A and B are shown apart, each in its own frame.
Chain A
Amino acid sequence: MRQIAYQRAGSVDEAVQAAAQPEAAFLAGGTSLVDLMKLEVLNPARVVDVTRLDLSRIEPRADGIRLGATATNSAVAAHPEVKRRFPALSQALLSGASPQLRNVATVAGNLMQRTRCAYYRDLATRCNKRSPGAGCDAIEGWTRMHAILGGSEQCIALHPSDMCVALAALEATIHVRGQRGERDIPFGDFHLLPGDHPEREFALEPGELVTWVFVPATAAAARSRYVKVRDRISYAFALASCATALEVANGRIRVARMALGGVGTKPWRSLEAERMLVGATPRAETFRRAADVALRDARPRRDNAFKVELAKRTMIRALTLSAEGA
């Protein structure tokens, strides 16, 4: 049998130290890690349990909200301040997984959620993310649930999270603590594109622990929306999703933030599309043009060409809803 060391961290420092050892992984809700350990996809030698650390607080502040790393998805989604000031975040969380999963899945766990690429999860197939250099059976295979943006010749695995799409649009920052101290990582820098190293997924140093996520409050955030299209009404990953936050003043868009899910190897933002929207009147033609720009670099594969148009329509829908609320 493979031995797995289990360590329950008594403090953040202890957790960071323990996880700096080779082949260590933090354990919070376990909905992703334990699943992948059972499938033998992830094989950490050491599991550092951070569930007893005091990291689960949800703290509203004047300038935003601080979400503790181990706050559950359910708790964040149901928090009145989240619903009031960051509706897209609540909507995104509630559109993901199932109530049972959301009750244990955490903020940081969701940030670190691994792809649902069926090849990544199946040891009988080749996967560069699982075994660097092994090759990829997905690219020429069943690609309906794969990324059309941000892929490489090594990997087109889709980023599966809903929460992260909302956090990307809301321009959250991720606070981490490591052996060399604390730092903030802008949300857009946290997830890495696969490039030549699809096995590297996060901008984290060994042992670095996410301690909280800060979401800044803005007028746009308070009117944010999340729209998700999927095959099944609950408990299904996005075919396409979009989080939008608009501020409209005097009939013109003053602030535009948006991110797409279900299409990228990471939560996908198009700054160019956002810039296009600023100063424009919020109407269908404007949204369509922005959507065309956001998806301009899409590279569909055999089974997912539909995602290009679906993502555009999802984005138009989310923008329309945001504008109506703005």
Chain B
Amino acid sequence: MKSVGKPLVRIDGRAKVTGEARYSYEVQVPGAAYAVLVTSGVARGRLVEIDTSAAEREPGVLAIITPRNAIRLPGKLHGEPPDRVVQALQDDRILFSNQPVAVAVADTLERATHAALLVRVRAEAEPPSIRVQDALDRAFPHDIVAGGRKQEPDSAHGDAARGMREADARIEQAYEVPPETHSPMEPHATIALWNAPDRVTLYDSSQWVFAVRNKIANAFAIPKENVHVMTKFVGGAFGCKGSPWSHVIIAALAAKQVGRPVKLVLTRQQMFGMVGGRPQTVQAVALGAKKDGQLAALRHESTSATSRFDVFVEAAALQARHIYACPNIETKHRVVRLDIGTPTFMRAPGESSGSFALESAMDELAHALALDPLALRLKNYAEIDPSEGKPFSSKSLRQCYTEGARRFGWDKRPAKPRSQTREGLLLGMGMATASYPANFSPASAVARMLPDGSAQVESGTIDLGTGTYTVMAQVAADALGLPYEKVRFDLGDSEMPEAPISAGSMTAASVGSAVLLTCGALREKLVQLAVADPASPLHGARTEEVRVEEGRLAAQGRSDTYADVVRRAGEKPIEVRSKAAPGEERKKYTNLAFGAQFAEVLVDPDLGSVRVSRMVGVFAPGRVLNARTARSQLMGGMVWGIGMALLEHSVYDEKLGRIMSRDLADYHVPGNADVGVVEPYFIEEQDEHVNPAGVKGVGELGLCGAAAAIANAVFNATGRRIRTLPITPDKLL
């Protein structure tokens, strides 16, 4: 009985809906004090004075920690990307609005909250700069770190200028994606507990316990082994918990300074600016094509915002290097420094924002050539990677297009914009290509067979709410030849074998491969023990002829069980540690996941409101580990696409340099009413090159191309091309 692929319900589902699951801030720590941050209202300047006297007089207050009295951190405050430069009350510079400038620590959350309010901050303010458009003359290239590897900011294949000159039709347009903020349900939270002067335990809402471990070890100059980090459940992250931000260090610092465990949670408002977001991008796309639609040139240049003190590059033009067959492709990435908190990867960083530009431009080209947008994409179907000349590890995009078009009813698309109505509303259909890198990073795991014949498998990875607990147990069960119920998978602990960041859609691929190989090795070891043991019925059998099913080892009509093997070997768990890592084989290929997005919108012709009535997405993500959780992730990505297309915007006050849409009433994400029928489908692939698990990842793919498909549908409905997201009613008046 295979487990992999089945639509099993999430193991932790019941614990979560009943409240049994303990999220990081909910861990009970005896004697804990509460820390509340004071953040800057100024975006750029210098602290002049912090008056803490009123706050310090309040009952229950243990400390008001400011740059004046904070412990000097002996170590480094930042390491290699994706680690970020943070502000931990070490100096008086103010680099962005909402930067922590003090922390109030008290015996209750209420007292700490009130004390934080009483802290009076005086700052010298300078006018901030927060729009990419205002700083374009200072744009500079910077290496991209994406999917765990460095890439050049620019690429050139062929001669795009010549391609443009020789083209029959040209599209040259600028597109803009505004700054966005992840806004997971669970706010960032950290509990820090010093067990000894050089030994600390943290419960943190994180996508990567090892990054937290390393960051704390570096900052406090203590050995990594002395830092124990746990994250058992995460209530959404989407990238903003991938790098430990200022509050993590401040929690540990405050705990050290007051000599008590400290709990720190950000308010919703504090999550706007301090813990990253998708940076604003201004993207220029140039497409040149022959009359028949064959691309002659593709140029994609993206300029994105970063902070004064750190660099994050939104890799919006990366996908343009790989997805269409074009002899002349040029891409460029530039960044500009602004007075904002450092942006970070936000669900499908680069691919979501970049696909809005590129796939909108493809739609514009199709319209200019009077071609069907899907036919244009098929005309430029890349059988091999156009920039690198390499084959794809697997690619089923053609099937995605065909299947998607059929399920969606693409043949009913009105060819002429603004030509079809339904109940007084303008109806439009749009589509876009989705692509996302099939990332794979080194990961390790441990697997133990217990005397009762059940298995324990661990890796220090994270379940972001995506189903890691569940799918890893499925992988382990099949690899061991055990029923799914006999496997317990645990995660979220820095004392477990090391795993990569749970981001870049690579947990299933990376940790899944590690679990697969580790459990395969454990099975091998147990089989060997059996055949070598004179007391085993399998004694003397050849290992390769032993089959394992449901925990029963069988060969030549004889059989043994895991439980008996372990018992005879001394009643102690039999353990194997192993890992998976990308090898040379993978480098021979371009490793990408693909999909096709289709959207139908209804637009009020007078009032400009857009409703996404239907979305169909067909995706080819390699092997599907769990049909239910994979579908949920793809659906979540598509729904996110509705938000990206129509709603999401971190709105800055340009004078104050401050995000003003700073709660979930002003920062809009889709509600149920905004989501019509959303249908994700798979084309499953057998891919032996991409990674041992054969998985490409589904966490981000569902968002890629989604905003463009909707924007293209809006064009089809209204004849209006909106090149700046989000598409709000005012833009369609």
With a CB–CB cut-off of 8 A, which chain A residues contact B58? 1
Smallest CB–CB gap between B707 and chain A, Å?
A: 15
- On whether the beta carbons of B656 and A306 are closer than 8 Å, the reply is no
Q: A189 on the interface (CB 8 Å rule)?
A: no
CB-contact partner of A141 in B653, B674, B728, under 8 A? B653
Is A62 part of the binding interface, using a Cβ–Cβ cutoff of 8 Å? no
Beta-carbon contact of A306 and B733 below 8 Å = yes
Contacts of B110 in A (CB 8 A): 1
The interface residues of chain B lying within 8 Å CB-to-CB of A232 are 646-647, 668, 670-671, 673-674
Chain A 232-278 interface residues, beta-carbon cutoff 8 Å to B: 232-237, 239
A211-248 interface bits toward B, Cβ cutoff 8 Å, 1 = contact, 0 = none: 00000000000000000011111111101000000000
| Structural contact, B607 and A231, CB atoms closer than 8 A | no
Does chain B have a CB within 8 A of A122?
yes
Binds A, one of B293-301, B432-440, B658-666: B658-666
A125 within 8 Å of B (CB atoms) = yes
B730 touches A306 (CB 8 A): yes
Q: Which of B657-696 contact A (CB under 8 A)?
A: 658, 660-663, 665-666, 668, 670-674
Closest residue to B59 on the A side, CB-wise? Answer: A1
Enumerate chain B residues within 8 angstroms of A230, measured Cβ to Cβ: 609, 729
- A231 x B646 contact (CB < 8 A): yes
Interface string of B587-616 (1 = CB under 8 A from A): 000000000000000000011110100000
How far is it, in angstroms, between the C-alpha of A307 and the C-alpha of B665 when the chains are bound? 20
Whether a CB of chain A sits under 8 angstroms from the CB of B41 is yes
CB distance from A240 to the nearest CB of B (A): 8
Residues of A close to B654: CB separation below 8 A:
141
Q: Is B114 on the interface with A (CB-CB < 8 A)? A: yes
Cβ of B117 under 8 Å from chain A: yes
Residues of B within 8 A of A121 (CB): 663
Where chain A touches its partner, the secondary structure class is loop
Beta-carbon contacts under 8 Å, A147-196 to B: none
Answer whether residue A12 sits at the interface, using C-beta atoms and an 8 A cutoff. Answer: no
Q: Which of A271-326 contact B (CB under 8 A)?
A: 306-307, 309-310, 313-314, 316-317
| B655 A140 Cβ-Cβ under 8 A | yes
Q: B607 — which chain A residues lie within 8 A by C-beta?
A: 229, 310, 313-314, 317
Contacts of A307 in B (CB 8 A): 730
Interface band, chain B:
35 or more
What is the CB-to-nearest-CB distance from B520 to chain A, in angstroms, rounded to a whole number?
A: 49
CB-based nearest A residue for B666: A118
Residues of A63-121 whose CB lies within 8 A of B: 98, 116, 118-119, 121
- CB-CB contacts of A107-145 with B at 8 A, as 1s and 0s? 000000000101101111100000000000100111011
Q: Verify A317–B606 contact, CB threshold 8 A.
A: yes
Min CB distance, A279 to chain B, in Å? 26
A261 vs B668: C-alpha distance when bound (angstroms): 20
Are the CB atoms of A231 and B671 closer together than 8 Å? Answer: no
Name the A residues within 8 Å of B652 (CB-CB).
142
Residues of A within 8 A of B728 (CB): 231, 239
Does A40 sit at the interface, judged by CB under 8 A?
Answer: yes
- B125-156 contacts to A (CB < 8 Å): none
- Chain A hits for B41, CB < 8 A: 123-125
With an 8 A cutoff between CB atoms, is B167 at the interface?
Answer: no
Q: Which residues of B contact A317 (CB under 8 A)?
A: 606-607
Indicate if the CB atoms of A239 and B730 lie closer than 8 Å.
yes
- B673→A234 contact, CB < 8 A: yes
Contacting pair A1 B668 (CB below 8 A): no
Of chain A, the residue at the smallest CB distance from B114 is A1
The CA-CA distance from A119 to B663 in the complex, in Å, is 12
B658 touches A124 (CB 8 A): yes
Which residues from B are CB-within-8-Å of A306?
Answer: 730, 733
Q: Contacts A1-B111, A239-B730; is A118 near B661 (CB within 8 Å)?
A: yes
* Closest A residue by C-beta to B664: A235
Contact indicator B611/A231 (Cβ below 8 Å): no
Closest to A117 in B: B660
Task: For A239, give its contact among B114, B674, B729 (CB under 8 Å).
Answer: B729
Alpha-carbon gap, A239 to B671, bound state (A): 17
The docked-state distance in angstroms from the alpha carbon of A234 to that of B672 is 8
- Nearest-Cβ distance from residue A97 to partner chain B, whole angstroms: 9
Taking a contact as CB atoms under 8 Å apart, the answer to whether A144 and B729 are in contact is no
B171 at the interface (CB under 8 A from A): no
Q: Which residues on B sit within 8 Å (CB–CB) of A118?
A: 660-662, 666
Residue of A whose beta carbon sits closest to that of B60: A1
> Chain B: which residue is nearest A160 at the CB level?
B665
Cβ of B651 < 8 Å from any Cβ of A?
yes
B729 touches A231 (CB 8 A): yes
Question: Could you tell me the distance between the alpha carbons of A113 and B662 in the complex, rounded to whole angstroms?
Answer: 20
| Distance between A261 CB and nearest chain B CB, rounded to angstroms | 14
Q: What CA separation (Å) do A256 and B656 show in the bound complex?
A: 44
The reply to whether A234 and B729 contact each other, CB–CB distance below 8 Å, is no
Q: Is the CB of B609 within 8 A of A229?
A: yes
Given the contacts A229-B609, A306-B730, A316-B606, A141 and B660 also touching, CB distance less than 8 Å: yes
Contact of B730 among A1, A116, A310, A316 (CB under 8 A): A310
CA distance in complex: A40, B673 (Å): 32
Shortest distance in angstroms between A317's beta carbon and chain B's nearest beta carbon? 6
Contact, CB under 8 Å: A235 / B608: no
CB distance from A324 to the nearest CB of B (A): 12
How many angstroms between the C-alpha atoms of A144 and B269 in the bound complex?
19
A296 to chain B, nearest CB (A): 19
Return the chain B residue nearest A234 by Cβ: B673
Interface residues of B in 616-675 (CB under 8 A from A): 646-647, 651-656, 658, 660-663, 665-666, 668, 670-674
CA distance A107 to B316 in the complex (A): 49
Contacts of B651 in A (CB 8 A): 142, 144
Q: How far is the CB of B106 from chain A (nearest CB, A)?
A: 10
Q: Residue on A with the closest CB to B675?
A: A233
Q: Complex formed: what's the CA distance from A313 to B647 in Å?
A: 22
B670 and chain A: residue at smallest CB distance:
A232
Chain A hits for B609, CB < 8 A:
229-230, 233
A40 vs B269: C-alpha distance when bound (angstroms): 13
Min CB distance A185 to B, Å, is 29
Instruction: Give the chain A neighbours of B658 by CB distance below 8 A.
Output: 122, 124-125
Closest A residue, CB atoms, query B674: A233
**A184 → B minimal CB distance (Å):** 33
Chain B residues positioned under 8 Å from A142 (CB to CB): 651-653, 660-661
Contacts of B117 in A (CB 8 A): 40, 123
User: How near does chain A come to B112, taking the closest CB pair, in angstroms?
Assistant: 11
Would you give the shortest CB distance from B390 to chain A, in whole angstroms? Answer: 43
> Is A141 a contact of B668 with CB atoms below 8 Å?
no
Neighbouring A residues of B666 by C-beta, 8 Å? 116, 118, 145
A239 vs B607: C-alpha distance when bound (angstroms): 10
**Residues from chain B with Cβ under 8 Å of A316 in the complex:** 606
How far apart are the CA atoms of A137 and B665 in the complex, in Å? Answer: 20
Q: Is the CB of A309 within 8 A of B665?
A: no
Residues of A within 8 A of B647 (CB): 231-232
CB contacts (< 8 Å) of A234 on chain B: these are: 671-674
Given contacts A118-B661, A229-B607, 11 further A-B contacts (CB under 8 A): A1-B58, A1-B59, A1-B111, A119-B660, A121-B663, A122-B658, A142-B652, A144-B651, A229-B729, A239-B729, A310-B607
Interchain Cβ contacts under 8 Å between A and B, 21 examples: A1-B114, A98-B671, A118-B662, A121-B663, A122-B269, A123-B117, A124-B40, A137-B655, A141-B654, A141-B660, A145-B666, A231-B646, A231-B726, A231-B729, A233-B673, A234-B674, A235-B665, A237-B665, A306-B733, A317-B606, A317-B607
Interface pairs A-B: 3 shortest CB-CB: A124-B41, A306-B730, A233-B673
Residues of B within 8 A of A (CB): 40-41, 58-59, 97, 110-111, 114, 117, 269, 606-609, 611, 646-647, 651-656, 658, 660-663, 665-666, 668, 670-674, 726, 728-730, 733
Which residues does A use to contact B, with CB under 8 Å?
A: 1-2, 40, 98, 116, 118-119, 121-125, 137, 140-142, 144-145, 229-237, 239, 306-307, 309-310, 313-314, 316-317
